[in-house]
A and B are shown apart, each in its own frame.
Chain A
Amino acid sequence: MVVVTSSHDPQLLKGVLSLLLLHLLAEQESYGYEVVQRLQGAGFADVLEGTVYPALARLEREGRLASRLVASSSGPARKYYRLTGAGHVALAAGGAGWARHVAAVEAVLSRPLSATLQKGS
Chain B
Amino acid sequence: MPNTVSWYDRLRVERVVWSLDQRLYDLPSRTRIAHRREVRANLLTAATEVGAGEALRRLGSVRDLAEQYRDAEFGEGPRHSWLAAALFALTTPLILNFFLSEAANAYQQAITTGTHTDGSYTWGGVTWLQSPLTFALHQGQATHVGGAYTPLTYVLLVGGTIACGRLWRALPHRRTPRPAMPAAN
Contact = CB atoms under 8 A, between A and B. Distances in A.
A50 B185 contact: no
Interface size class, chain B = 20 to 34
Contacts of B185: 15-19, 94
Contact of A50 (B34, B40, B48, B60): B60
B121 interface: no
Contacts of A64: 181
A61 B184 CA distance: 18
Contact of B72 (A49, A50, A57): A57
Contacts of B120: none
A76 B41 contact: yes
Most-contacted residue by chain A among B38, B40, B59, B178 (CB, 10 A): B38
Contact of B184 (A50, A54, A76, A101): A101
Nearest to B44: A75
B69 interface: yes
A76 B71 CA distance: 26
B45 A50 contact: no
Interface of B is mostly: helix
Contacts of B94: none
A33 B72 contact: no
A78 B58 CA distance: 19
B183 A61 contact: no
A4 interface: no
A76 B37 contact: yes
B56 to A, nearest CB: 10
A100 B60 contact: no
Among all A-B residue pairs, the 6 with the closest Cβ atoms: A97-B183, A50-B60, A54-B68, A58-B72, A76-B41, A33-B42
